[in-house]
Amino acid sequence: GEDVEQSLFLSVREGDSSVINCTYTDSSSTYLYWYKQEPGAGLQLLTYIFSNMDMKQDQRLTVLLNKKDKHLSLRIADTQTGDSAIYFCAEVKAAGNKLTFGGGTRVLVKP
């Protein structure tokens, strides 16, 4: 299977919280990232977490890492219409510096 997997689509109401999930297979991953891509644009780094951390919070964003289950999540509090985008999780393996991306989760925020 793929190294990094994400669900394809998430629909959420404006003002609610969004949770985007990601699973990975390589236990030697050192850093895990969340990127946001708006239509026709490049990737914007939202946040990242080092593999020895369980949680990281940055304003409306909360990243949770369950290393045992190899599960990463991104929670967006008070989701806004401007949060509609594709969100990619990615990992860097210990052995190299190449990013491996998940397939991306398309988030649609409804008013």
Partner 1 sequence: GAVVSQHPSRVICKSGTSVKIECRSLDFQATTMFWYRQFPKKSLMLMATSNEGSKATYEQGVEKDKFLINHASLTLSTLTVTSAHPEDSSFYICSARDRLAGGETQYFGPGTRLLVL
Question: What does the per-residue mask of binding to partner 1 show for 75-104, with x meaning CB under 8 A?
Answer: -------------x---x----xxx-xxxx
Residue with Cβ nearer partner 1 (70 or 103): 103
From 10-18, 43-51, 52-60, 72-80, give the range in contact with partner 1 by CB under 8 A.
43-51
Helix, strand, or coil here: 79?
A: coil
CB of 46 to partner 1, least distance (A): 11
Figure out which of the listed residues 42, 59, 68, 69 binds partner 1, where binding follows CB under 8 A.
42
Q: Using CA atoms, how far apart are residues 2 and 24, in angstroms rounded to an integer?
A: 8
- Residue 92 CB contacts under 8 Å (≥ 6 apart), including other chains: 29, 30, 31, 32, 33, 98, 99, 100
Residue 74 binding partner 1, by CB under 8 A: no
Whether the Cβ atoms of residue 90 and residue 3 lie closer than 8 Å to each other: no
Helix (H, G, I), strand (E, B) or coil at 35: strand
Give me the residues that bind partner 1 (CB under 8 A), please: 30-31, 33, 35, 40-45, 48, 88, 92, 97-99, 101-104
